[in-house]
Each structure stands twice: as structure tokens, then as C-alpha cells.
Amino acid sequence: MSKDGVDNGRRRFLLWSTSTVGAVGAVGIAVPFVGSWQPSARAEAAGAPVEVDVTKIAPGQAVRHEWQGKPIFVVKRTPEILSKLGEITKQDMLKDPMSEKEGTKQPGYIKPETRSIKDDVFVVIGICTHLGCVPQHKKELSAEEGGGFFCPCHGSKFDLAGRVFSGVPASNNLEVPPYSYKDDKTIIIGIDQGAV
């Protein structure tokens, strides 16, 4: 004890114990806060690439998957469908037949005529470019148009290469996501062809 009646030993003990408890509390608060910056397992899974076995898709059929929270259609096109795509291009029924319009989103490595890497398999994000509704796959839109995608919200129509028809509200073709072939039967949605 000092001459003015203050116990310095007790004062140091209280100072150190209070500081220690405060530091432990700060770490206890900081750890969950910093941990909240990390994406959840669900968020990481939503952004992960998606593998699709194209041999399980029947000719003319479209299957729906999800990648990054977006609907993805994978369509197995027949020779008849590919022939119809060529006819539609020649008949001047499309707003952007070669996907050259600014705002059209597609990887640079796909063929502009079919908007795919291989002609028989088409991969597209199923979100209408007008107001973001999910179009429906239709085997027939009309006798002239062949199959494609029809948006039930405002009537936009797209062919089986995701190209938008003239005279509908949507102005851009459907977006083609990055994708690649793992082997002859499997595609990976979410990985660029050049990265494989």
C-alpha cells in the first residue's frame, strides 16, 4: 500500500484483468464478424460449374439446370432443327441473326450461326432479355418458325439458337453462358472453352 492509502498491487491486478476480459470480448465479437465475410457453402455451390451429360438428352429435347441462380437450358438439336435455323436466317425473321448487336452476350468462341460450340448441343441462359422472365421451351412456335423459346410475360419469341424474332418486345438474343466440353458426352457450364 502507498502512503496515501492506495493499494497499487490491487490496482494493477484490476487493470490487467479488465484489459484481458475486454480483449477476449473483442476477439469474441471480431471472429464471427470476419467470418461473415466468407461466402456460405450454399453461395459457393450456386456459383460452381455445372456438369451436364448430353448423351442423356433426347434429340429435340431441352433440359433445365441452374447455374449461379439462373435457369439454363441445354437443347439437343436435330439435323431438322439445324436446317430450320438456316431457313429462319435466310427469311430475315430475326432482329440479330449473327449476334452482332451491341448488348448481345455470348462467348467469343461459339459459332455465330448456331450460337454453340458444337451444332447439335445448344446452351443458353433462360432469362428473357426484355424484362427478365423465364421463357418456356416450345417444340413448335409456328409452322414457319420451328421450335424455340416463348416468353409468357410479354410474348417475346426466340429460335433454338436463342435469337430473338422481329416484332416482339425483346431486343437482344438470349445470353449464352461460358461453357466447355469435358469430353464428348459432358459439358461444363461456367468454365470457358479456352480454360479447358
Q: Which residue numbers are catalytic?
A: 154
Pairing verdict, β 70-76 and 121-125: antiparallel
Strand order across the beta sheet in which 70-76 lies: 62-67, 70-76, 121-125
CA distance 57 to 41: 29
DSSP character string of 71-89: EEEEEE--HHHHHHHHHHH
Q: How far is CA 60 from CA 68, 80, 99, in A?
A: 25, 9, 23
CB 85, CB 165: distance < 8 Å: no
Which residues have C-beta within 8 Å of that of residue 168, sequence separation ≥ 6?
130, 154, 155, 156, 157
